[in-house]
Chain A
């Protein structure tokens, strides 16, 4: 099945890989470079959403390693996607356009979410990427080989200490992102978190049936449908009193939390700088559940919990831990 796909892609891939060095080499003036950077980000985005690929993705952070198998098919306007965890507990995420099933086969639990609530948050590359380039400087960083493919490497260097640097490896032939490292500050530039394809086939024949099969037989699963409703910070009586530099409110959602009790919806406000995200969760303070304020970190994702009067604030973000208090302190009850 993969043979015809590869053959079909080969001429395009060859053509593109010939053209690419020209684009990357155009560093004559800043404008051209910036335009090039934007073009690359758009290309990465397009490849991720419209490509047909299957691969094994490896995630590592702090000495922990986990991998998952990924299928991504695009048939016309229809997008089929499946991720299956290969380590630890069985878990599958199946996405068909805006419908997302998260399955735990051993526990026989399925979380079914309509992406429409979140989908509206999704912005087109044209509006997202320029914003990211306000906060990060995109630098070509040579080329390398990832998962057996030639990749162009970029370094996204933050312009302040509120966010992490990231190094991206984009497939030279298709633009698909093959690897992404989150890089910490300091002279040693430690890699905090790394996600990469260890092997991938791009341009495979789409097989939507293999994706949909996974959600056909879930009659005996306990189906959980989180309640989600789009809202605004203002309508909920909250405001970010002091904006955090470079971060814009990307969306606000009132959602039922399985563990927070059925009748205790949690407000989730998502802030984005175009590349990375910070979620601020707000809920009523409950002495039973909210015992200790704390900070934690796992890979590049930091968490902070804090009590603010009658409310409990949880901030989760793929940012340095020192950025989180800025959100926790700035979020204020307006009524």
Chain B
């Protein structure tokens, strides 16, 4: 930000009308209508992120000296967070075709860590795989689950509405396999835990929405 202004609102006035940073400035002032434009700007433009940071730094300084810390601290935090995210094991590993040796590590990680997002991220991936209408890579990283969620729901809607029950997005195709598996398992050995204590957690077959 080359025109450090005391107040973001001032910055907006100083900026030419066509400067996209106006959206950031407006958002910083609490204008919700600017949110979408500002977010896409924030995503695409590194200098916009810089500007956004500067706006807030200025605001912080105005509010309290305590907040006026060196920006390196935030940068270090962000870098650290990114590094941690990057080393986070990916629980669902789509297998490249014809590649025999897959990394097994994701499965060996402590279940305590895995359990958190195995279910949600896993089901997300399955959904994308199963919907014929959905193109694009199957790999949905845990960190990107938010975006994936929306994409899946909207893309799948015309075929079979993607269900979201208790945090699950289920894939009708794989559901059917799971259902077939469960019903067979119950039939083979009723004494097994699956017999009496079998969960009831299946969704409608895809055809049901017809």
Asked if A128 and B189 make an inter-chain contact with CB atoms under 8 angstroms apart, the answer reads: yes
Complex partner residue of B126 from A190, A196, A296, CB under 8 angstroms: A296
* Residues of chain B in range 151-202 having any CB-CB distance to chain A below 8 Å: 163, 165-168, 172-174, 176-178, 180-181, 183-185, 187-202
A-B contact count (CB 8 A): 246
Asked if B173 and A289 make an inter-chain contact with CB atoms under 8 angstroms apart, the answer reads: yes
**Most chain B beta-carbon contacts within 10 A, residue among A70, A85, A250, A291:** A291
Q: Please tell me if B39 contacts chain A, counting CB pairs below 8 Å.
A: no
Given contacts A64-B167, A177-B197, A277-B185, contact A109 B191 (CB under 8 A): no
Residues in A whose Cβ lies below 8 Å from that of B176? 257-260
Q: Which residue of B lies closest to A181 (CB)?
A: B193
Q: Please tell me if B30 contacts chain A, counting CB pairs below 8 Å.
A: no
Shortest beta-carbon distance from A203 to chain B in Å: 15
Instruction: Determine chain A's interface SS by DSSP, over half rule.
Output: strand
Asked if B185 and A318 make an inter-chain contact with CB atoms under 8 angstroms apart, the answer reads: yes
Which bracket fits the contact residues of A?
A: 35 or more
Task: Report the Cα distance A224→B176, complex, angstroms.
Answer: 13
Q: Which residue of A lies closest to B160 (CB)?
A: A259
Residues in B whose Cβ lies below 8 Å from that of A68? 199-200
Q: Please tell me if B208 contacts chain A, counting CB pairs below 8 Å.
A: yes
Asked if B184 and A279 make an inter-chain contact with CB atoms under 8 angstroms apart, the answer reads: yes
Residues in A whose Cβ lies below 8 Å from that of B63? none
Residues in A whose Cβ lies below 8 Å from that of B111? 184, 186, 188, 190, 192
Asked if A63 and B116 make an inter-chain contact with CB atoms under 8 angstroms apart, the answer reads: yes
Asked if A277 and B194 make an inter-chain contact with CB atoms under 8 angstroms apart, the answer reads: yes
List 21 contacting pairs A-B, 8 Å CB cutoff, sorted by A.
Answer: A63-B115, A68-B200, A88-B166, A128-B189, A177-B195, A180-B197, A186-B111, A188-B112, A195-B197, A258-B206, A259-B205, A277-B188, A277-B189, A279-B180, A281-B177, A293-B94, A293-B97, A297-B92, A297-B122, A298-B123, A316-B181
